[in-house]
Structure 1
């Protein structure tokens, strides 16, 4: 049974939540507290899988409360439920909360949020059973900059221009977005200097993915960046996202699927960064063993760590409430047949198939820096999809673009 703790200093809010969720009391064990200190004492007596807290409270505010929850039980999923989305505390809350929920919140929305949290806990429980989890502690929260991007997108006045203005405030991010817009992958080169115009050209979803992966990569120390060639890994992620977009356009996927493929491609190897942050020695051993034994890196990761980088990024993106198709595509990009089986798409390409194909093509042409043995094409699956004859053409086009492209290696200050 899912154990949930609600904290809000307003008794009427808690009573409203109690009435709203009364019909779920048989499947969720819910406790309600007006005092954060009392909630902490209650959590000491009995843990909870999910804590949902108000932001503005007298004495101990929601940020201080959730930080205490994180320190005492890093496995607990932590959400903020607030009606003030422009409060200064919200920026601090983003560092210790996995999601921010706006109130008032309709019953069906809140139930969906809690059910999603239950699914997340099921996946994290599998991770906990591995030897990795003792070193992993908890998965990272969403980067601050990306949360700001999501706030902009959720605003009634959301626009690519406003997003471009936000990107322009971060010099490093601004430079990366402008460089991406000028890559030949998008059919133009050397025309953009203004980050606002670059965002208008690239589109919101592509920029959102770049901002997110930039935030993940920024956690690494300069020593790790140098030792593991992280610039090459991020460049690889960008190229995979762009190639996935090209493949989807060629296959006449919908605009929504094409955008999702670009996002998934850019994020597909973010699990490697989590492994570098939390299990560096074992991950380094996995890379070496993959190269020596000629086994795919994700297989060696599962042998040594109990989980692959692909499964790990899927769990992290699920925790951040990313769209289901992006979670599926990243988590299954080394085993796309699993996604096809779940989706009933044995004879048609899924986004996981596209990310897998783009990933292998790019790996075959160049190293990403954080690599084991170069992965191979699954020609049986490609034949099943009728794509085996066109792989050579996509590879040739990727070579042409790569030879011209500025994304050979992303630079870090």
Structure 2
């Protein structure tokens, strides 16, 4: 089906230029134009769209307010800000409402790619109820210990960007949000950043402080929810999976970008569990109860109870946030990698194997059923004979961690 795209800008010449440039997309998109926020909302009231692309500075109703209204009224719509470099402060105020940020003037290839990807991702999560819940997310839940450390560091007169980067790297929610921002076209980077500490360094201390203390892009997970939804165990497992995924990539002589993406994919592979637990409450409690009573994996329980899994939820959310496709692939398919028809080592390989090894060695203590290892996938990429060496690497990592504590 064709996707509906709405462009909003108070300058008619900008919209006229877009009309000319986008004529070649009319077989794929139904494109609409509005010259104000009010006109955009009137258009959406008649016919909702899949993606809205809005200018930031407009009279009467600015882009941040408009996207806030779109989020409230039409949560399934992917929201993109198209803004000028001089409007950075205004853009920061829109962080809670926008999925992606593009820099004006934006080259047509970047614009088309961002919109096409956002439209395609809208089909990824078939459960419309979950899609609406996730599309309303304004702040990312962070574990209390990490959140408290970050607030203390930012409040210190000796605040260190290095220490802040380390804190962010240990929390999957913080990592996801920081990477969403730094990888947006608004920052004009020539390649994706997959290292959360590097992302913090690029954003800078003042931006991080504004995002956390003023815009409040992070929220602290309720202490009662930590045990109820096993969030501490999930976070510890994800960090361990990130470290082991990185080690596996190093062992396979991958380039530094793949090593960073393997680490990040491991840290984020179960972020969908955090998003579901933080936003669905009792519904996700039913998932946890089903998992315990029937001794199945969380992935299997989610599929039966919710009709969608944490893998789909995580891939959808981070996908509309614009994270690299290799990371989205690793998150989406880490339980069923054979669906992704690659023929060589990939961040997906690292995460699938690391997740299996850590569960098999039972260091996460959740009592969850060990997920299946796809031997067909390992044969598909000609890596089955590497499994003993990878197992040994996992054992060594766990032993080193035990010795350190």
TM-score class normalised by the smaller sequence: 0.7 to 0.9
What does residue 194 of structure 1 align with?
A: none
What does residue 207 of structure 1 align with?
A: 197
Residue deviations 1:330-380, cap 9 Å, x none?
1111112122x2x2x2xx433222101111222234454766323354456
Residue 65 to residue 365, structure 1, CA distance change in 2 (3 Å): same
RMSD of Structure 2 on Structure 1 (CA):
3.3
Conservation of the 8 A alpha-carbon contact between 2:166 and 2:197: no
The partner residue of 2:167 within 149, 173, 176 is: 176
User: Could you tell me how far 1:144 is from its partner in structure 2?
Assistant: 12
The partner residue of 2:135 within 118, 138, 150 is: 138
Residue deviations 1:210-268, cap 9 Å, x none?
999x9998452232134334333222211111111111111112222111101101111
What does residue 316 of structure 2 align with?
A: 315
Residue 351 to residue 328, structure 1, CA distance change in 2 (3 Å): same
What does residue 43 of structure 2 align with?
A: 42
The alignment status of 1:263 with 2:264, answered yes or no, reads: yes
What does residue 390 of structure 1 align with?
A: 389
Conservation of the 8 A alpha-carbon contact between 2:165 and 2:200: no
User: Could you tell me how far 1:387 is from its partner in structure 2?
Assistant: 2.2
What does residue 127 of structure 1 align with?
A: 127
Residue 228 to residue 166, structure 1, CA distance change in 2 (3 Å): farther
1:389 alignment partner, SS class: helix
Residue 4 to residue 204, structure 1, CA distance change in 2 (3 Å): closer
What does residue 364 of structure 1 align with?
A: 360
2:48 alignment partner, SS class: coil
Distance 1:142 1:257 in 2: 28
Residue 67 to residue 81, structure 1, CA distance change in 2 (3 Å): same
Q: Structure 2: 5+ residue runs without aligned partners?
A: 143-156, 172-192, 202-207
What does residue 251 of structure 1 align with?
A: 252
Residue 352 to residue 117, structure 1, CA distance change in 2 (3 Å): same
- 19-28 or 101-110, larger mean C-alpha shift: 19-28
Conservation of the 8 A alpha-carbon contact between 2:95 and 2:217: no
What does residue 295 of structure 1 align with?
A: 296
1:334 alignment partner, SS class: coil
Conservation of the 8 A alpha-carbon contact between 2:134 and 2:317: no
1:266 alignment partner, SS class: helix
Conservation of the 8 A alpha-carbon contact between 2:162 and 2:197: no
Distance 1:204 1:49 in 2: 28
1:108 alignment partner, SS class: helix
Distance 2:220 2:396 in 1: 33
Distance 1:26 1:284 in 2: 44
Distance 1:19 1:178 in 2: 43
Residue 250 to residue 142, structure 1, CA distance change in 2 (3 Å): farther
Distance 1:18 1:381 in 2: 45
What does residue 176 of structure 2 align with?
A: none
Query: Where in structure 2 are the equivalents of 1:66-215 lying within 5 Å?
Result: 66-124=67-125, 126-128=126-128, 132-133=130-131, 136=133, 138=135, 140=137, 168=160, 173=164, 176=167, 205-207=195-197
What does residue 157 of structure 1 align with?
A: none
Paired residues, number: 354
2:387 alignment partner, SS class: coil
Distance 1:78 1:306 in 2: 25
2:19 alignment partner, SS class: helix
Distance 2:168 2:376 in 1: 37
Residue deviations 1:61-106, cap 9 Å, x none?
1111111111111111110001135432211111100001001111
